[in-house]
Structure 1
């Protein structure tokens, strides 16, 4: 009996995974080129930064040769790509350390901050958005709907660095409740996490409120209410699954953006993560550390979005079909 070969169309998961993998490879290639090209545009000479302002021209030229900066740009790029292929991110100009070691020392702080922030965003925003939608459904409690829109719009309009500064002034300097900088204790995470989560929390809660309001107007929800299903069961079984898809998509994008927002927040709070590290590297013209950090942050953001896509495909297989159409 002949064995029938299974085609790609009969295995949508394989094609879906292949598309995501191809996207990751392409994104990584673009990141490599972009990070290599834009970093030398930073004003200042790395050789002068290493040698010092008092160094002679001969000393600067010697250090430039040691750093490989006297080579043509295409030669530097080939050396850079060759190092990446062997998982070598290079050596720091400023302290001579392996760039991978520098990044791995700071990565846990940024990951901890970003994960805490997005976890709190989801835990708070989803219930709040659904509750406001339920309480204001059908035109009821218009004052609550107006208050919700005003508060979320106001908080969202404040830039993150301004929000971070306000939190420091009020809770660290004024009330003395939390440390203003550092990461020595768990309480040091409170203010940076708040500064990082407040803006996305407003966005997610508004989206959840809107999506919940749309779902509550659907015929199957009216039918479920007619069966006298309890409110918790109604929301858990019929409303939440239809809201969570949009919420997860938005949350994935926000978490990816949080990695970039961490640069500002970590600088304000002197938090020893990748954000503060890349700012310090820019000031020191440390090209390998800048490139390695941006590359890692960009790759993490791309991975996060891809993982969210896979989770959404598991929750709602129709997303795979839509992706293939």
Structure 2
């Protein structure tokens, strides 16, 4: 297990370094810079600002300096928010995205898995057709379209919920639902297909032949093994939702991490772009590692060496 963890951490660091390098090069390949649009600044002042942030240094020097600061967990200052560091921006905005993401993930998992299981157990019946119809619509409709419809119906027409901003529970309902529908639908489809495959296995037929109750067969034997591909999807999905949906947070004017990321791209705020990218990458890598650790709990045949017992 120790060797496996060491190999995974080492490979994750290489992946993270590749992400940082590619993002860094792409940012600087775009013409202009963070202060290009500051039309009222004299050339001398603009030059001093760029020297202050070391934007005039050679590209390789900026890159190595960033890696050195990153090793100390210092993501640098924001170029557009005076007096604020990227660490401060992430620490202030991520809790908002975390709250929204936790509600969305809860809805997606708690509704998607039972819906998929029921559809599999009632295959070719109305429960199956209704679940798959919802899942198809949920996967097909983009989240920003759903968000727009929710705002129009519940905020503008009915006046039941606030259209935007962030506050109490009433502000969470529409953005959480808009974020949760797509993963909920995908989890339902994945659970159904995996459940049907497991229910066709010989050990399930043997359990039925022994006269075990249906509830025992489903929850103790079938559902546990059927959740393996679902858990594989939930890992990176959780990281994505927790970090914040860029579009949803902009539509509902939520001061989360996704909204800052979009704003930083418009402003060419290099350090914020890199900082959020690094933060998101670490979160995705951590969730994937957590998924690998959960596999043996669902199926004892799976070992952390990546092999299965026969």
More displaced 10-residue stretch of structure 1: 56-65 or 75-84 = 56-65
Closer/same/farther in 2, CA of residues 17 and 315 from structure 1, 3 Å limit: farther
Offset of 1:82 from its aligned partner? 1.2
SS of corresponding position for 1:318: coil
SS of corresponding position for 1:272: coil
The question of whether the paired residues in 2 share the 8 Å contact of 1:259 and 1:297 is answered with: no
Aligned 1:153-192 pairs, distance under 5 A:
153-192=136-175
Offset of 1:85 from its aligned partner? 1.4
**Which residue of 1 is the match for residue 118 of structure 2?**
131
1:56 and 1:229 map into 2 onto residues whose CA distance is 81
**Which residue of 2 is the match for residue 310 of structure 1?**
293
Aligned length: 307
Offset of 1:177 from its aligned partner? 2.1
2:204 and 2:61 map into 1 onto residues whose CA distance is 64
Unaligned runs of 5+ in 2: none
Root mean square deviation of aligned Cα: 2.0
- Greater helix fraction, Structure 1 or Structure 2: 1
SS of corresponding position for 1:93: coil
2:112 and 2:89 map into 1 onto residues whose CA distance is 35
Aligned 1:25-104 pairs, distance under 5 A:
25-42=13-30, 44-49=32-37, 52-94=38-80, 95-104=82-91
Q: Which has the larger radius of gyration?
A: 1
SS of corresponding position for 2:303: helix
1:237 and 1:181 map into 2 onto residues whose CA distance is 43
Offset of 1:239 from its aligned partner? 1.2
**Which residue of 2 is the match for residue 212 of structure 1?**
195
The question of whether the paired residues in 2 share the 8 Å contact of 1:125 and 1:202 is answered with: yes
Aligned pair 1:193/2:181, yes or no? no
More displaced 10-residue stretch of structure 1: 191-200 or 21-30 = 21-30
The question of whether the paired residues in 2 share the 8 Å contact of 1:196 and 1:261 is answered with: no
Offset of 1:178 from its aligned partner? 2.0
**Which residue of 1 is the match for residue 97 of structure 2?**
110
Offset of 1:201 from its aligned partner? 0.9
Closer/same/farther in 2, CA of residues 313 and 87 from structure 1, 3 Å limit: same
SS of corresponding position for 2:57: coil
1:42 and 1:171 map into 2 onto residues whose CA distance is 41
The question of whether the paired residues in 2 share the 8 Å contact of 1:42 and 1:285 is answered with: no
More displaced 10-residue stretch of structure 1: 81-90 or 110-119 = 110-119
Aligned 1:239-250 pairs, distance under 5 A:
239-250=222-233
Task: Please report the TM-score for the alignment, with normalisation by the length of structure 1.
Answer: 0.87
Offset of 1:43 from its aligned partner? 5.2
Task: Please report the TM-score for the alignment, with normalisation by the length of structure 2.
Answer: 0.91
2:31 and 2:253 map into 1 onto residues whose CA distance is 24
